[in-house]
């Protein structure tokens, strides 16, 4: 639970508009952008060790310049006459931007390691209705810069998933960094091109029921050497290469299944989202959602009796099938909604933030020591994989995937062979 002993005061807030005139029109969203579960603000926290005095003014100005290129993000999501087809109205109203001051240093609050010593509502923007009259599901982006004593600052970001996926959001934030460092234009220019994503007539399934699971929050760090060792073992096992995501997800699925202590024939499920930019040959500047779910399932017995290397085999096989399943969806060769999810306790969802690009953003003060989502819910068993905070070397897992009853066994399994 966050402590109230440190005060955070918001000292300015308002809209940052594009720095130059932008087109006034309405842009249609792609099928995947319009998906109901994407209509919400994803919260993240980006921690910098230095630059606090200059950051608010520098980033505010750079944000306006970047919005001149990414002008749809300065607009609003609006409903169209056709039900279920929201679009972005390019109003140039701007992005809500706040500046705040914390009466403590980042060291005082343990660099915002969990459990947080500050309420997350102090770190990401939650404007009052009289200051920002657009509903959250229609707002595209909000940003807050919080200055800490001793020179550090935190950028709190809320970004609407309907307007961009993780890679697209990072592309925009990197563009803000480009402007802050004096570049005349983003190093990767944005393109809309939403018509290039398939637009099948398949209707999204009903929104899933969300159980209350009372999940524990567990932070796990894995050194690069440890991950590389598992990748080397897999090369010896199969003669093929695998990714760090593959080995950590395999270990995660097996350790969690063991901790749940299910009946042997119980079905356990794993889901993550993969980029399909390469399949659609999209321009590098595409920043909309371009993702597709990768789903797999098996009996508890199969997952537990397999070696970690064999579980990696299972993950790689389903990843290779993804392209076939995506094109079946694109060509309407299936009537089933592939994005339909179930959130029972036997299912786990993995999100990979490690290569999105947030950790590379530089506003002129160096890259962040940490960049990642603010997640802590009681209804989706999930894990986020991201770059470990500096000065650590390796990968971090933010796990909110087991209840108190199973957390000790899960954490023990994940850590048992760590150096």
Annotated catalytic sites, by residue? 161, 362
Contacts 24+ apart (CB under 8 A), 369-373: 369/47, 369/48, 369/49, 369/111, 370/45, 370/46, 370/47, 370/111, 370/112, 371/44, 371/45, 371/46, 371/47, 372/44, 372/45, 372/396, 372/398, 373/42, 373/43, 373/44, 373/45, 373/398
Q: Could you tell me which of 259, 269, 282, 263 has the C-alpha nearest to residue 340?
A: 269
How many whole angstroms separate alpha carbon 292 and alpha carbon 176?
27
Q: Which two tokens stand for residue 350?
A: 């993995």
**Contact 290/273 with Cβ under 8 angstroms?**
no
DSSP secondary structure string, 50-112?
Answer: S-TTTHHHHHHHHHHHHHHHSGGGGSEEE--SSTT--EEE-----EEEEEEEEEEETTTTGGG
DSSP letter string, 139-150: --EEEEEEEEET
User: How far, rounded to the nearest angstrom, does the alpha carbon of residue 65 sit from its chain's CA centroid?
Assistant: 24
Closest CA to 164 of 68, 78, 325, 39: 39
> What is 304-322 written as a DSSP string?
HHS-HHHHHHHHHHHHHHH
Q: Which two tokens stand for residue 289?
A: 């959602």
Check the CA dihedral 347-353-356-358 and report its sign.
Answer: positive
């Amino acid at each position: 639970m966050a402590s109230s002993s440190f005060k955070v005061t918001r000292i300015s807030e308002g809209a940052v508009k594009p720095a130059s005139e932008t087109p006034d029109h309405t842009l249609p969203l792609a099928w995947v952008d319009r998906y109901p579960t994407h209509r919400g603000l994803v919260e993240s926290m980006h921690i910098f060790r230095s630059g606090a005095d200059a950051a608010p003014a520098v980033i505010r100005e750079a944000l306006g310049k970047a919005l001149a290129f990414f002008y749809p993000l300065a607009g609003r999501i609006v409903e169209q006459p056709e039900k279920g087809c929201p679009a972005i109205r390019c109003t140039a109203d701007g992005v809500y931007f706040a500046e705040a001051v914390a009466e403590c240093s980042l060291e005082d609050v343990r660099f915002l390691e969990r459990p947080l010593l500050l309420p997350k509502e102090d770190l990401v923007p939650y404007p009052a209705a009289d200051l920002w009259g657009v509903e959250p599901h229609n707002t595209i982006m909000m940003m807050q810069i919080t200055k800490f004593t001793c020179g550090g600052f935190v950028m709190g970001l809320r970004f609407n998933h309907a307007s961009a996926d993780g890679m697209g959001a990072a592309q925009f934030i990197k563009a803000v960094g480009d402007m802050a460092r004096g570049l005349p234009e983003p190093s990767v220019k944005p393109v809309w091109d939403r018509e290039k994503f398939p637009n099948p007539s398949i209707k999204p399934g009903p929104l899933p029921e969300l159980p209350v699971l009372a999940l524990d929050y567990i932070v796990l760090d894995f050194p690069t050497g440890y991950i590389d060792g598992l990748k080397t073992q897999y090369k010896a096992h199969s003669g093929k290469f695998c990714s760090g995501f593959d080995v950590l997800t395999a270990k995660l699925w097996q350790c969690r299944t063991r901790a749940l202590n299910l009946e042997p024939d119980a079905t356990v499920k794993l889901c993550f989202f993969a980029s399909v930019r390469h399949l659609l040959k999209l321009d590098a500047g595409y920043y909309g959602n371009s993702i597709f779910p990768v789903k797999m399932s098996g009996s508890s017995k199969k997952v537990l009796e397999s070696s970690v290397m064999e579980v990696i085999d299972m993950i790689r096989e389903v990843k290779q099938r993804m392209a076939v399943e995506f094109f079946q969806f694109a060509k309407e060769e299936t009537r089933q909604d592939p994005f339909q999810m179930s959130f029972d306790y036997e299912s786990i969802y993995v999100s990979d933030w490690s290569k999105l690009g947030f950790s590379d953003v530089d506003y002129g003060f160096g890259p962040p020591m940490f960049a990642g989502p603010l997640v802590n819910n009681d209804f989706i068993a999930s894990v986020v994989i991201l770059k470990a905070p500096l000065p650590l070397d390796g990968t971090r897992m933010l796990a909110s995937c087991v209840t108190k009853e199973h957390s000790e066994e899960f954490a023990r399994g994940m850590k048992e062979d760590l150096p």
